[in-house]
Structure 1
Amino acid sequence: MSVVKCLLVLSSCFISQFFCCSITDAKEAKHVNVILIMTDDQGGWDYGFMGNKHLNTPNLDAMAARGARLNRFYVSPVCTPTRANLMTGRYNYRTRAIDTYIGRAMMEPEEVTIAEVLAPAGYQTGIFGKWHLGDSYPMRPQDQGFQEVLVHRGGGIGQPSDPPEGAGQYTDPVLFHNGEQKQMKGYCTDIYFDNALNFIEQNESQNKPTFMYIATNAPHGPFHDVPEDLRKKYLAMDLTDAYGFDMNSRRKNKKQFDRTSRVFSMIENIDQNIGKLFQRLKKIGAYENTLVLFLNDNGPNGPRFVGAHRGMKGGVNEGGIRSVLVAHWPDQLKAGAVNEQIAAHYDLFPTILTATGVEKPKTLDLDGVNILPLLKNEAASWPDRSLFLQWHRGDQPTPHTNAAVVTQNFKMTFSKQNEPGKLFDLRNDPAEKRDLSSEKPALAKDLTRQYDTWFADVSSTRPDNYAPPRIHVGNVKEPTTVLTRQDWRYAGPKGKGWTRDARGHWLIHIEQGGSYDIKVQFKKQQDQKETELAVSVGKDQFHAKVPADSSEYVFHNVTLHPGKQTVDVKVTEGETERGPMLVYLTKKSAGNSAP
């Protein structure tokens, strides 16, 4: 951890001003635990209590009935931006984590996570499931305040960052426990919850407070490996009207119904684990004093029911950026409380600090506000505010592109740069069909001005604001650095990002020069007799010819030099050039420190 970050964590002051509330009415005899649960690609209406008549979510329905809920809670259109907002309490455009892959999903390690604030206050911190903010030092969750870590790499199981030994396996997956690769037994969602519940039980037995983040990769694809009994249950249903429109009218075939049955089976499996969670909390005596927060990370990963709205993952219509927020805390929250005020993912950081009574570091600037008064229904009046959400592909954001400004009653959306935005009255037009920008030009101009001010602010957080952070190599905390297609910068010449023939390079910082092993793993073409490898690390270049019976090669004891370097690996088979699948850099001996 850097000196700057240490100062941020150690220096602190109480959150103040209107948005904060006191926790003095909590029962002082017992610490407060926090369990933050977020699912992946589950839409904001994929719940029974949200009107979905096909999904069976009895435990989440009961949680909502016993707890408090914000009806208008917003998240980003896709997962990495939401996770950066959630972990830092800051707009993700301040954190360098702007997209989901090819080097754009790594968070600046100088950012301070909620775990880094809670851990010095005595909290035992754990993450179980999906991180998606960097797989290599110093961006891993264990480098960002989490003491117990059980995660998959990249954006999901079944993506190019998977280790070859368990690629694509939701059942018996290969995960990473505190940095060590581990073969697991069971279904991935069950594994996350089982390990998380054992973690909090161990902490309770020692009277230690717990903060844990359970981030499932379900119901994200791939969809080949799902709970089979539940899949059959949903496939037997008539899902024609499970989408908010008549699917038959869209000329879809049963392939879409099969996919929906798989998604629904993963969601019901999550619901079953929610039931197990509350049973365990009761068993260990932590039911009353544990704040459980539940949300989804973006809209649904395909056409599904989104209430009176429209849209899905990736877009800024309401269906793409709305989540549930259910808060369950018997000590503090009134059962069945529902609040209609707008709030967003970056509000949970200050809310958790207030709930736990942990002080905010003095020099830490947050964009979120404490929304505990809303969950308690204790905010007689609440200031007007605007929420800003944006995402699109690219190495840096483009203004007025797939963006939205949301207020309590109105919403301004922007599709493309140099095109005027559209204004909608969400009270009377929840499906965002009637553009009012010409009827309310003053309001449209004001919201556009607010957006421009916001975009300029977040884009100037650092001088090189959208440059990706570098992967550090040769640090004792990570003896072997694994470079994957998840974190490379796309370079061409063919394909995009993850396709077979794609090319890319990695931006690294070698902390210690000296002797390294470089292992390259690649996919072979059929009937190819020989593969040529060309590896460059800065100015150092290495070449090899690999026989037909091998799809990996190790360059032993090569010398690498300290400092900022670019790694490029070219795999040549006949007339085809492509990038590798994985590259492993292992420090062999002590060398010179980086300048």
Structure 2
Amino acid sequence: MFRNTFLALLLLLTTSTNLEVVVAQERAESPNVILIMSDDQGGGDYGFMGNDLIRTPHLDTMKDQSGFLSNFYVSPVCAPTRASLMTGRYNYRTRCIDTYIGRAMMAPEEVTVAEVLRDAGYQTGIYGKWHLGDSYPLRAMDQGFQDSLVIRGGGIGQPSDPIGAEGKYTDPILIRNGEEVPLKGYCTDLYFDAAIDFIEETVKTEQPFFTYIATNAPHGPFHDVPDELYQQYQQVDFAPIIIGQVSDKRAKAEQDKLARIAAMITNIDDNVGRLMGELERLGIRDNTIVIYLNDNGPNTRRYVGEMRGKKADVDDGGIRSPLLFHWPARVPADQTSDELCAHIDVMPTILEACGIEPPMENPMDGRSFLPLLTNEDPRWPTRQVIFQAHRGDVPHPYHHFAIHEAPWKLVHPSGFGRERFVGEPKIELYNLNEDPRQQHNLVDERPQVTKRLLAAYHDWFEDVSSTRPDNYAPPRIVIGTEHEPSTVLTRQDWRHIQGTPWAAGSNGLWKLEAREPATYRIELIFRNAPPSASATIRAGEASERVEIETGDPRGHFATMELPAGQFDFQVDVDVDGTVRGPHQVIVSRSLETDSQ
């Protein structure tokens, strides 16, 4: 009997051990993923891209140890790039078409890479800049990220800043899992701190993780930068990387701005080095994918290699980014590909690397570039990749677009800052293999190529614009749910209707939705202490008048019954006959009161 019991226990232990080995092997085969994207860094702001003035030693080392895509493209501005990065789809399919005033919000029905990985058993975390919606159901925490420490809006120093922390890169107030939290330290350091903490905690669970670190550096404003690095860069002459003529009057200011930008970039690089060291310490570096890219071109006219253009341009300097893909377990060191790839390819690549099927409900436009870096199947078909972005409520055909089909680039650089161009499009065609600076327009010399690519662009525009009925209607903020009982409405997400966007005298309205009628407490917040005024709050057919007393920027309340369904929410503040909007509004529903 003893012998039989011993054999049974031995069999049980052996089976248990074998199961643990199988589970461990399955976990080992699922790589961790870290996606890092800087903001306004620019494709030439790296030592490995030929920049001798801005120091990026850790990224230079990472490049030597990683796969490298040398012909990789992003959108000309940040929110569109982020929408494509998260979904594998052109941003025009996602309702995200601009960077502010309600048009940087992504449709909540889009399926993000975080949602797919979470559902496959990954722990997911985001640290830094989301820029695809600040309120339910548009937040990162509503779109697949289980842990989040983020800024609101498109950057620190914008109207979406939490009250009391306006413009603070150092000691900011950030949003942790939906709640405002004051923190000590420089913002980029804080993002990496939180990401490393998340990784360390997840490693203990033996679950794979997806970590998205999206810095708001080196985006402006530039008043608050790492001081020690700034002092070092003040000694550097940046004249060799400044593009174009700069007057003597502007030269000093431009030098100082670049010293600040360079300090922010080197600070990011230092944090990348710290992160890679932590992966080594934790013993997970070999099977952790680390991807690094920037979101668009540089935020000043500075070095971009053999290209022309900067941020917001559809010329190559505005939409090119190097992409590093570090995965020692699968990708040989210094494996380079010059095939045409783009932001829409990142999600399908991550999913293939993780052995996860893509979502069926929202087909991706991108394709996995993993075979280019693993040498498993290096064949890459000739493809067309298209970029378009401009201001305004809806995209306009032929306005500020570029279509790429190697080696060709067909482009109409009509300007990001205007809602639409006037007159016939002035199309340009370049052979980028022979003319990377876009100096020799071939539109008259190669009419058949021009005609073919124009037709392809037209078909693409029609396709992405018909993704859903009313495709370019802005998403709505949903108020009064258990997910977000108090909603902060900022100028980032309002639909602008008066004055210059974000200026003191401007006004706008928010597109809201409530699932059921309820009583709300509404607080009006002003940028500065207001003079005596009156405010009229309108929510659909309902309205309420509030008297504003001179004094505190906060503490101006009203109680309103808000209807169910979709409605416009607007606040008109009348100051001596001049109407303007508030700085922010907090709309709060007490769910506890409702249930009593």
Q: TM-score, normalised by structure 1?
A: 0.92
Q: Please, which of 317, 320, 335 is the counterpart of residue 319 of structure 1?
A: 317
In structure 1, runs of 5+ residues without a counterpart are 1-25
Query: Which residue identity is paired with 1:516?
Result: Y
* Structure 1 residue 568 corresponds to structure 2 residue 570: yes
The question of whether the paired residues in 2 share the 8 Å contact of 1:27 and 1:331 is answered with no
Structure 1 counterpart of 2:86? 87
For residues 530-579 of structure 1, the C-alpha deviation after alignment (integer angstroms, 9 at most, x for no partner) is: 12111111111111222211323443442111111111101121132211
Distance 1:203 1:299, change over 3 A: same
The question of whether the paired residues in 1 share the 8 Å contact of 2:529 and 2:550 is answered with no
Query: Which residue identity is paired with 2:304?
Result: V
* Structure 1 residue 514 corresponds to structure 2 residue 512: no
Alignment map for 1:164-313 (pairs within 5 Å):
164-244=163-243, 252-313=250-311
The question of whether the paired residues in 1 share the 8 Å contact of 2:27 and 2:206 is answered with no
Q: How many residue pairs are counted as aligned between the two chains?
A: 563
Q: Please, which of 455, 459, 470 is the counterpart of residue 453 of structure 1?
A: 459
Counterpart-to-counterpart distance in 2, 1:95 and 1:541: 33
Counterpart-to-counterpart distance in 1, 2:585 and 2:476: 16
Q: By how many angstroms is 1:361 displaced?
A: 2.6
Q: By how many angstroms is 1:362 displaced?
A: 3.0
Q: Please, which of 500, 503, 508 is the counterpart of residue 507 of structure 2?
A: 503
Alignment map for 1:485-504 (pairs within 5 Å):
485-492=491-498, 494=499, 496-504=500-508
Counterpart-to-counterpart distance in 2, 1:581 and 1:28: 48
1:462 counterpart SS class: coil
Counterpart-to-counterpart distance in 2, 1:577 and 1:190: 41
Q: By how many angstroms is 1:251 displaced?
A: 6.6
Counterpart-to-counterpart distance in 1, 2:538 and 2:507: 14
Structure 2 counterpart of 1:101? 100
The question of whether the paired residues in 2 share the 8 Å contact of 1:424 and 1:432 is answered with yes
Q: By how many angstroms is 1:93 displaced?
A: 0.1
The question of whether the paired residues in 2 share the 8 Å contact of 1:40 and 1:218 is answered with yes
Q: By how many angstroms is 1:250 displaced?
A: 8.1
* Structure 1 residue 57 corresponds to structure 2 residue 64: no
For residues 151-182 of structure 1, the C-alpha deviation after alignment (integer angstroms, 9 at most, x for no partner) is: 01000111000011211100010001100110
Q: By how many angstroms is 1:207 displaced?
A: 0.5
Alignment map for 1:28-67 (pairs within 5 Å):
29-67=28-66
Counterpart-to-counterpart distance in 2, 1:38 and 1:211: 14
Aligned CA RMSD, in angstroms, stands at 1.7
Counterpart-to-counterpart distance in 1, 2:522 and 2:27: 54
Structure 2 counterpart of 1:398? 396
2:321 counterpart SS class: strand
Which has the higher mean CA deviation after the structures are superposed, 581-590 or 44-53? 581-590
Query: Which residue identity is paired with 1:156?
Result: G
Counterpart-to-counterpart distance in 2, 1:558 and 1:348: 45
Q: By how many angstroms is 1:589 displaced?
A: 4.5
Distance 1:548 1:233, change over 3 A: same
Q: By how many angstroms is 1:524 displaced?
A: 4.6
The question of whether the paired residues in 1 share the 8 Å contact of 2:97 and 2:103 is answered with yes
Alignment map for 1:573-592 (pairs within 5 Å):
573-589=575-591
Counterpart-to-counterpart distance in 1, 2:250 and 2:241: 13
Query: Which residue identity is paired with 2:353?
Result: A
Structure 2 counterpart of 1:539? 541
For residues 172-211 of structure 1, the C-alpha deviation after alignment (integer angstroms, 9 at most, x for no partner) is: 1000110011001100000000110111111111111000
The question of whether the paired residues in 2 share the 8 Å contact of 1:390 and 1:402 is answered with yes
Which has the higher mean CA deviation after the structures are superposed, 99-108 or 230-239? 230-239
Structure 2 counterpart of 1:434? 440
Q: By how many angstroms is 1:308 displaced?
A: 1.1
Structure 2 counterpart of 1:127? 126
Larger radius of gyration: 2
Query: Which residue identity is paired with 1:290?
Result: T
In structure 2, runs of 5+ residues without a counterpart are 1-24, 415-420
1:191 counterpart SS class: helix
Structure 1 counterpart of 2:365? 367
Query: Which residue identity is paired with 1:439?
Result: E
1:491 counterpart SS class: strand
Q: TM-score, normalised by structure 2?
A: 0.92
Query: Which residue identity is paired with 1:489?
Result: R
1:552 counterpart SS class: coil
The question of whether the paired residues in 2 share the 8 Å contact of 1:518 and 1:586 is answered with yes
Counterpart-to-counterpart distance in 2, 1:531 and 1:361: 52
The question of whether the paired residues in 1 share the 8 Å contact of 2:548 and 2:556 is answered with no
Structure 1 counterpart of 2:3? none
Query: Which residue identity is paired with 1:441?
Result: P
Counterpart-to-counterpart distance in 1, 2:593 and 2:554: 27
Query: Which residue identity is paired with 2:543?
Result: Q
